[in-house]
Amino acid sequence: MNYLLDHPARVASLAAEHVELVAAALALAFAIALPIGLYAARRPHVAGWLLGVLGALYTIPSLALLAVLVRLLGLGMAPIFVALVAYAQFMLARNVVTGINGVDAAQVDAARGAGMSGNQILTRIELPQALPVIVGGIRIAAIASIAIATLGGYVGSGGLGVLIFNGLTLHQPSMIVAGSVSASILAVITDGALRLVERRARLGTS
């Protein structure tokens, strides 16, 4: 723990980088997964193969994927960013599909019968009803992304992974501990915060 206590500013700035990387990747990933998920939710056969493909992508070991991406995109922020966006797709899109398909059919029927247009049903009924499940997907994706983003330390994208990989290279166990403990704390805080959001969303729909 010495490193963490001796260099709090350094750890904090790497943690901030880590959060920025994960948040930006999640935002882009969600912007892609939401329309894909909405499209697939209405088409069961599309949902089947889409989640199959994304699931297969998800099973590729992250280090292997990163190695391929480094060859394609070079070192720096790009490969880890792409890897994060790709991994998050599965969890985000799956929960959008599950959330939308889980909306009470009677409510959708009543909304159509009331004369809501397709877009109105989506924005006023389906998305609010599916929100807890969608937030659940964001929470899981965020935790996984915080872990995967530590690999960025190996390819030069900054973040808490820098401490872990430098510690390995320099034989400095306290640096490794500082990096991994900080990443874990980040994951626990994120999990707790998004659980709160999820619970509020759930209360709002029941």
Task: Please report, as ranges, the residues that interact with other proteins according to CB under 8 A.
Answer: 104-117, 120, 125, 128-129, 204-206
Smallest separation, CB 96 to other proteins (Å): 17
- 61/113 with CB nearer other proteins: 113
Smallest separation, CB 123 to other proteins (Å): 12
- 6/109 with CB nearer other proteins: 109
Smallest separation, CB 156 to other proteins (Å): 45
- 16/114 with CB nearer other proteins: 114
Smallest separation, CB 10 to other proteins (Å): 45
With beta carbons less than 8 A apart as the criterion, state whether 167 and 174 touch: yes
- 173/204 with CB nearer other proteins: 204
